């Protein structure tokens, strides 16, 4: 049993119901005992849906199914299981997806191309789909107003705490709600992570608007986080809009009336993404990395991720060592332009290096004090242009090795 | 004190002298106590020289110096120090290089643009160049036939054993020798590593031929290894040819008379590169990864490195867990074409997966036995084309975390 992350929030946040959907969780016994491992969400009327899926070349059968279903833009139901990723399972894996979708259709009277599925857990083991489909039949009779914490717990694998976030906003004067849950703690990297996240809103927005907002939001949230640089076969982020709030129709994502909604959505996505990092395997520090003065925002992000993924930077932070030379190294290896002789580095707001060398009379004391905290801030200027980016990661500790090497999967 | 790597060779190999060069090692006391930390090599007559240097955007002052000196193609001397990388030291770092080069010129009567320098150790600390220049004066009086082991020990930092390799070959009937030393154990990745390697031959070959052979050889050796994916600011591989063997002149690197020499050079480079991996920080397993059926050799190498750098793959191997699902994940994230449904994986020569799924009646016993050994072989076919590549790496253990987080640098 892995201890709860020291970076976990004190409690699961309070999430309101979303009108137009019901859900149920149940125990299929796929891998875990005595806990829910299946989540079924049903929409009263077809919800608009958009998604961001893993770019892995070895993506799972569920990913292929969702990619196709997303072209329709309508969702009747979502089925998620934990404990088995149904990835690298060949034709049997495709068959398992088909059987699961058919079970949902039978139970809810839904159309196949409006059913979304996601699986997370072990790769390469056949999914015991009978357990899942049996469970679906039971869950269809138990659908109710959402218990979001139970839903977040049902999709956990190596997570040490359930992850949820909510915000509200107005669209043209009508209040709308956004609630999201997520799971993930290892195999976390852009793009994206062994990461499942499902976000629900009662806003009435068409799939095209959802897609535009979600893709932009994902870039600033889930695609700006990394735990170990390993991208999973199953990463899934889906946004469902029930339309129950009855706001005025908006058909252009750039419409000014969506500004507050877009900001609230971004906040939910960033909140969830940060929780995933805070549950990073073995994490003891939450690290924010800001890169500025890069040739472009893209270059800045690549440099920030090079720092965030560097085992030497991550282990130095685990050791509470303000080893900024390793940050210099990581900037250098990123493959983007950086002016060595204009490079600047701050740690915890204290300037450590400027113009390509240590600041004169560098006093390590305040930096060392910052390194002892749980929240580490690193800012790097690379002296080229005006590109900026922010990414989040965690440190690399003995805990990561223990979880991934000492415990057999 | 870090224990000698369990993957270290039993002893330092026997390396013959190379006619046309002398060397000396001494204690400058830059960082370490009671051990040599400076190496001076002097060539009787100017040697032909070629080099491969780090591609880091934050390369050290010594790298910049060597890059310029290499354009001349002639070497009179090589000066190396351990304990301080003289990297990210701004104008003071450039000045330290100039002072060091001047000291060598004074002591040996050499021309400035024929002096090569390399520094390895802490980044961002000013180099105590007076200690180095004082040492140079003493060493110039102690030059002698090479004690290769002493030379390899003088350039060590976190290395747990000195690294050397030698081969001989004939060029047009004349026997020639190749001797090389190397250091490196962390911050090891293409391109290239906190890695210094100096290779010496008595062959008579022009700089252009040396460069062509060295660049090709580096691609198959040092640039096919990784410990932690972190590229250093100081990586330096230099090849010096004294010409003392007096072989017939050869001016084209494709000349058939160089075939044996090129093969011997490759062997020296691969031997040294593998020793660096075997000294990878915390390494307990030496891992060979072969990727085939990729779209190109370059694609194959990128996939192989994605596997080699995956923390989840490396920790699974540390845990002696044949978790091939993580290999599937790493193939998927490499950013190169792979056919999920034709993917095959062998571990220790035993086929584990074929056509995108686990082989029928998979027997884990022989694979589990292989995982318990010190030499792990992974072969992956990605079902696209005919591109092949081989890379070497080590596992990721508690030892890596201890060395990089628990001990303060």
Chain A, 178-207: which have a CB under 8 Å from a chain B CB? 186-187, 189
| Number of Cβ atoms within 10 Å of the Cβ of A263 | 12
Structure confidence at residue A60 (pLDDT): 86
pTM given for the model: 0.83
Question: In whole angstroms, what is the distance from residue B119 CA to residue B121 CA?
Answer: 7
Task: Check residue A409 and give its pLDDT.
Answer: 46
Question: What is the average per-residue pLDDT within B237-255?
Answer: 95
- CB contacts of A187 in chain B (<8 Å) are 312, 329
**Cα(B54)–Cα(B56) distance, integer angstroms:** 5
- Other C-beta atoms closer than 10 Å to the C-beta of B55 total 15
Minimal-distance CA residue of chain A relative to B94: A341
DSSP secondary structure of A178-241: EEEEEE-SSSEETTEES-EEEEEE-----HHHHHHHHHHHHHHTGGGEESSSPPPS--EEEEEE
Show the tokens assigned to B327.
Answer: 């290999």
Rounded to an integer, what distance in angstroms lies between the CA atom of residue A118 and that of residue B217? 46
Crossing angle between the packed helical segments B129-140 and B90-108, to the nearest 10 degrees: 10
**Does the beta carbon of B364 lie under 8 angstroms from any beta carbon of chain A?**
no
State whether B357 and A88 contact (CB < 8 Å). yes
Residues of chain A with CATH 3.60.70.12: 21-278
**pLDDT score for B190:** 35
Contact A233 B323 (CB under 8 A): no
Q: Which among B93, B233, B329 has the least Cβ separation from residue A230?
A: B329
Contact between B396 and A401 using a beta-carbon 8 Å cutoff: yes
β-strand pairing of A163-171 with A286-294: unpaired
Cα separation, A162 vs B280, in Å, equals: 37
Buried b (16+ CB within 10 A) or exposed e, A206-232: bbebbbbbbbebbbbbbbbbbbbbbbb
CB proximity list for A71: less than 8 A, separation 6 or greater: none
User: Nearest by CB to A398, which of B91, B401, B407?
Assistant: B401
Which residue in A has a C-alpha nearest to residue B368's C-alpha? Answer: A408
Going from the first residue of chain A to its last (409 residues), give the mean pLDDT of each consecutive group of 10, the final group possibly shorter: 84 96 97 94 97 84 94 97 89 94 97 95 88 96 97 92 96 96 68 71 97 94 75 80 95 96 96 91 93 96 92 91 88 88 94 90 93 96 96 90 69
Among A9, A390, A396, A69, CA closest to A223: A390
**Does residue A408 sit at the B interface (CB-CB below 8 Å)?**
yes
Distance from C-alpha of A229 to C-alpha of A335, rounded to nearest angstrom:
16
- The per-residue pLDDT for range B289-335, each reduced to its tens digit, is 999 999 999 999 999 999 998 888 999 999 999 988 889 888 988 88
Chain A CB within 8 Å of residue B322 CB: no
The mean pLDDT value for B8-24 works out to 96
Residues of B in contact with A325 (CB under 8 A): 85, 87-88, 122-124
Residue B173 has pLDDT above 90, yes or no: yes
Structure-block tokens of residue B289: 């990864």
Contact residues, A window 155-174, toward B, CB-based 8 Å cutoff: none
Residue B99: pLDDT band with limits 50, 70, 90 = very high
A223 touches chain B (CB under 8 A): no
Inter-chain contact A88–B356, Cβ cutoff 8 Å? yes
Q: Which of B329, B346, B334, B359 is nearest to A87 (CA)?
A: B329
Cβ-based contacts of A231 with chain B (< 8 Å): 329, 332-333
Residue of B31, B55, B58 best to disrupt the A interface, most CBs of A under 10 A: B58
Interchain proximity B319–A405, CB inside 8 Å: yes
The CATH architecture annotation of domain B286-406 reads Roll (3.10)
Burial class (CB within 10 angstroms; exposed 0-12, middle 13-18, buried 19+) of A11: exposed
Read off the pLDDT band of B60 (50, 70, 90): confident
The tokens of B96 are what? 């330290």
Residues of B that are catalytic = 194
Note the pLDDT of residue B332: 86
Mutation target for B interface from A312, A318, A342, A361: give the one with most B CBs within 10 A: A312
- To the nearest whole percent, how much of chain B has pLDDT over 70? 94
Closest CA to B388 of B396, B379, B400, B397: B379
pLDDT at B409: 46
Instruction: Tell me how far apart the alpha carbons of residues B270 and B163 are, in angstroms, rounded to a whole number.
Output: 12
Q: What are phi and psi of A174, to 5 degrees?
A: -95, 125
pLDDT class of B204 with cuts at 50, 70, 90 = very high
User: Do B189 and B227 contact (CB within 8 A), yes or no?
Assistant: yes
How do residues B350-374 score in pLDDT, each as one tens digit? 999 999 888 988 888 999 999 999 9
Residue in this structure with the two tokens 């013959």, named with its chain if needed: B16
> Where are the domain boundaries for CATH 3.10.20.340 in chain A?
286-406
Which of A187, A336, A401 lies closest to B329 in CB terms? A187
- Contact across the interface for A57 and B325, Cβ inside 8 Å: no
Q: How far is A367 from chain B (nearest CA, A)?
A: 15
Asked whether residue B42 carries a pLDDT value surpassing 50, the answer given is yes
Closest chain A residue by Cα to residue B406: A319
Contact B58 A343 (CB under 8 A): yes
Find out whether A395 and B309 touch, Cβ atoms under 8 Å.
no
**CA of B230: which chain A residue's CA is closest?**
A310
Fold of B21-278: 3.60.70
Choose the mutation target among B283, B325, B360 for the interface with A, i.e. most A CBs under 10 Å.
B325
What is the average pLDDT score of chain B? 91
Peptide bond into A104 cis (omega under 30): no
Asked if A142 is an interface residue toward chain B (Cβ–Cβ < 8 A), one would say no
Alpha-carbon span B86 to A18, nearest angstrom? 59
Alpha carbon distance A43, B235 (integer Å) = 58
The rounded Cα B322 to chain-centroid distance in angstroms is 29
CB pairs under 8 A between A and B: 217
Q: Which residues of B359-388 are buried (b: 16+ CB within 10 A; e: fewer)?
A: eeebeeeebeebbeeeebbbbbbbbbbebb
């Amino acid at each position: 049993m892995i201890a709860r992350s020291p970076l976990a929030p004190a409690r699961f946040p309070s999430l309101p119901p979303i009108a137009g959907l019901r859900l149920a969780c149940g125990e299929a016994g796929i891998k875990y005992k005595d806990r829910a491992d299946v989540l079924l969400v049903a929409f009263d009327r077809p919800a608009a849906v958009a998604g961001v899926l893993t770019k892995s070349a070895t993506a799972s059968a569920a990913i292929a199914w969702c990619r196709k279903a997303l072209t329709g833009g309508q969702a009747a139901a979502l089925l998620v299981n934990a404990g088995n990723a149904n990835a690298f399972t060949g034709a049997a894996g495709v068959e398992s997806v088909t059987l699961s979708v058919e079970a949902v259709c039978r139970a809810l009277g839904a159309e196949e191309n409006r059913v979304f599925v996601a699986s997370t857990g072990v790769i390469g083991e056949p999914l015991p789909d009978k357990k899942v489909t049996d469970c679906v039949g039971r869950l269809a009779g138990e659908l109710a107003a959402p218990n979001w914490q139970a839903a977040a717990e049902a999709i956990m694998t190596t997570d040490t705490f359930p992850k949820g976030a909510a915000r509200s906003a107005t669209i043209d004067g009508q209040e709308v709600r956004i609630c999201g849950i997520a799971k993930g703690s290892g195999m976390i990297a852009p793009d994206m992570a062994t990461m499942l996240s499902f976000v629900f809103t009662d806003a009435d927005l068409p799939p095209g608007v959802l897609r535009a907002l979600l893709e932009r939001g994902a870039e600033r949230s889930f695609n700006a986080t990394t735990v170990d640089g390993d991208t999973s076969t199953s990463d899934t982020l889906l946004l469902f809009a029930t339309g129950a709030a009855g706001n005025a129709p908006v058909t252009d994502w750039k419409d000014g009336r969506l500004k507050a909604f877009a900001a609230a959505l971004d906040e939910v996505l960033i909140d969830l993404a940060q929780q995933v990092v805070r549950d990073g395997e073995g994490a003891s520090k939450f690290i924010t990395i800001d890169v500025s003065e890069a040739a472009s925002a893209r270059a800045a992000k690549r440099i920030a991720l090079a720092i965030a993924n560097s085992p030497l930077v991550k282990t130095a932070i685990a050791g509470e060592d303000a080893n900024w030379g390793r940050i210099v190294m990581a900037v250098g290896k990123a493959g983007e332009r950086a002016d060595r002789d204009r490079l600047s580095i701050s740690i915890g707001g204290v300037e450590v290096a400027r113009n390509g060398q240590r600041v004169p009379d560098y006093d390590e004391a305040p930096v060392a004090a910052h390194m002892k905290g749980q929240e580490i801030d690193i800012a790097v200027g690379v002296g080229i242009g005006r590109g900026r980016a922010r990414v989040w990661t965690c440190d690399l500790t003995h805990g990561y090795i223990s979880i991934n090497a000492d415990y057999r999967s």
